Amino acid sequence: MSSILTNNGAMVALQTLKSINKGLSGVQSEISTGKRISSAKDNSAVWAISKVMESDVKGFKAISDSLSLGESTVAVARNASETVTDLLTQMKGKIVAAQEDNVDRAKINDDVTALKNQINSVVSAAQFNGLNLVDGSVASASVLASLDRDGSGNVTASSITVAAQDLSTGGYTANDVFGSSTGTSAAGDTVAFTLDAGGGTSDIVIDDTAGAAFAAGDRVTVRIGDQEASYTVSADDVAATTTSDLVAVGLKNAIDDLGISGLTVDYDSGSPGRLDFTNAGTVDIAVGAQFVNAGSGGLGVMAGIDVSTGGGAASALAAIETLIDTSISAASALGSVESRISIQADFIGNLTDSLKSGIGAMVDANMEEASARLQALQVQQQLGVQSLSIANQAPQTVLSLFR
C-alpha cells in the first residue's frame, strides 16, 4: 500500500542516517581529544578509575619534587661532613708533627686554630633552603617519599627520616674528670699513653672529687688501637655517691667486650675510679681517653685542642681520632640515606610512567582505528543521505495514479 502520510522507507533511512551521524560524531570527538573515554557518560567505571589514577600521578609529581629537595639537602650535609673529615685529617698531621720536641709548636698551633675555624665555617654554611643537618640545630628531618593506597582506597603518606649528624663545635666545657695517672702523658679531659708489648702497664683514673664533675649524658670514650669503647653517664650514676666507680666499671665492661688480644683491664675498688691496663700481647697498643660533656656538640672537644705545649699535643692526639671517627660516621650515615632517597626518586619516576601508561591504555583512542572508522562512516553518511533522498521521492510516484 502506498501512502503520502506515512513514508516507512524515509523513516528507516532517517534513523540509519542518525545512527551514522552519531557514530561519526563520536569518532570525530576521539580524534580531536585523543581519548576514547573523555567523560563519565562514555564509560563511568573506567572514567572513575582513570581519574583516581590521574590524581595519584599528580601526587607523585609533588613527591618527586620533595625527593629532589631532600636529596639536595642531604647532599649538602654529606659534602660538608666529607670536607670536615679532610680538614680533621690535615689537623691530625699538624698534631702528629707537634709531638716532636724540636718544632715550633706555637706556629703549628696557629695552623691548627686556622683549621678549627675553617671547620666551623663549613658546618655553619652547610644548609639548603634554611635546613642544616650538621650544625646540631635539628635532630632529624622527614622527606616525603610515597603515597600508599590500600585495597579500600585509603591513602597514607610515607616518609624517609633523615637523622641529623651533629658536627657542631660549641657547648664544650672542661671538667677535668681524669685524675693523675701513672705513665700517662696528660690528664684533664684527655689521657693518652702507649702500652708496650710483653707486659707494659699504665692506668686511667676517673676522678669526680672536684665537685659535680659528671652530669647525665656525659660520655667517656676510650680508643684502643683502632677500636673504641664508651660509657654514657646516667642519671642514676650521678645520684650515686660513687659516680666515678660506676663510670669506671661501665667503661671496663665496654673495653672487655672489644675482646682485644693480650689486653687486661682491672678495676680495684680500693682505688676509686682507677682502671689498670696491662698489655701481654706481642705488639704495642696505643690508648687514648676522651671525656665529652652532655652539652657539647659532636665536635665539641675540638675547642679544647691546643698543641702549643707538649702535654697539649699529647692530649690532642687522643682527641683527634675520636673527632675523625665522628665525622666519618656522619658522612657515612648521610651518604647512606642520600642513596636511599635517590633510589626512591628513580622508583617514583618509573612508577609515574607506569601509571601514565595504564591510564592511556584505558582511555586513549586508537588513532589508526579511529581513522579507518572515520572514512567508513563518511562513506556511510553519503550513502545514507542518498538513501533518504530516494525514500523522500517515493510519494512522487503516487501522482502518476491521478493523471
Q: Are 185 and 272 in contact (CB under 8 A)?
A: no
* Reported confidence tier of residue 48, pLDDT bands at 50, 70, 90: confident
**Percent of the chain's residues with pLDDT above 90:** 38
Domain residue ranges of the chain, discontinuous segments joined by +: 47-169+332-356, 190-294
| Confidence at residue 141, expressed as pLDDT on a 0 to 100 scale | 93
* Reported confidence tier of residue 211, pLDDT bands at 50, 70, 90: very low
- Which residues contact residue 194 at a Cβ distance below 8 angstroms, ignoring those fewer than 6 apart? 200, 284, 285, 286, 287
Mean pLDDT of the 229-238 span = 89
**Percent of the chain's residues with pLDDT above 70:** 96
| Confidence at residue 36, expressed as pLDDT on a 0 to 100 scale | 79
The residue among 159, 164, 177 whose CA lies nearest residue 215 is: 177
* Reported confidence tier of residue 389, pLDDT bands at 50, 70, 90: confident
Which runs of E-coded beta strand occur in 17-151?
127-128, 131-132, 140-149
Cell of 315: 692530649
DSSP string spanning 199-241?
TEEEEEEB--TTSS---TT-EEEEEETTEEEEEEPPHHHHHST
Mean pLDDT of the 372-390 span = 82
pTM of the model: 0.73
Cell of 49: 578509575
β-strand pairing of 131-132 with 127-128: antiparallel
Q: SS3 of 169, please?
A: coil
**Weakest mean pLDDT among 210-214, 264-268, 297-301, 313-317:** 210-214
| Confidence at residue 314, expressed as pLDDT on a 0 to 100 scale | 77
Cα(61)–Cα(55) distance, integer angstroms: 10
The CATH fold assigned to 190-294 is Immunoglobulin-like (2.60.40)
* Reported confidence tier of residue 95, pLDDT bands at 50, 70, 90: very high
**Grid-cell match 693480650, residue found:** 262
Q: How wide is the angle at C-alpha 167 spanned by C-alphas 158 and 171, nearest 5°?
A: 120
Q: SS3 of 305, please?
A: coil
Pick the CATH number of 47-169+332-356 from 3.30.420.40, 2.60.40.10, 1.20.1330.10, 2.40.70.10: 1.20.1330.10
| Confidence at residue 209, expressed as pLDDT on a 0 to 100 scale | 60
| Confidence at residue 292, expressed as pLDDT on a 0 to 100 scale | 85
